Amino acid sequence: MRSLAELKKNERGIINGFKDDSLSVKLIEMGCLPGTEVSVELIAPFGDPIAIGVSGYCLSLRKDEAGCIMIED
């Protein structure tokens, strides 16, 4: 299974679950819900952080954090 960090720019995916419990609470609060579609909107120069479109808005997070979000194949 891939993580959000492996998605390329403009690629879409559906959130499947999280690898890290305490981080997942924060991500869920910010609207990263399992079953929700995400798309990679921006990648900062030097490849990190990234910005994703989720639940109707734009959220930026680091590669490490994106790595905790699992994407359905």
Which spans of this chain sit near other proteins (rule: CB under 8 A)?
21-31, 33-34, 41-42, 44-49, 51, 55-62, 64-65
Q: Which of 21, 11, 12, 16 shows the shortest CA–CA distance to 1? A: 16
| Comparison of 14 and 42: residue with beta carbon closer to other proteins | 42
Tell me the HSE value of 22 on the side-chain side, using a 13 A CA sphere.
0
SS3 65: helix
CB of 44 to other proteins, least distance (A): 6
CB of 53 to other proteins, least distance (A): 8
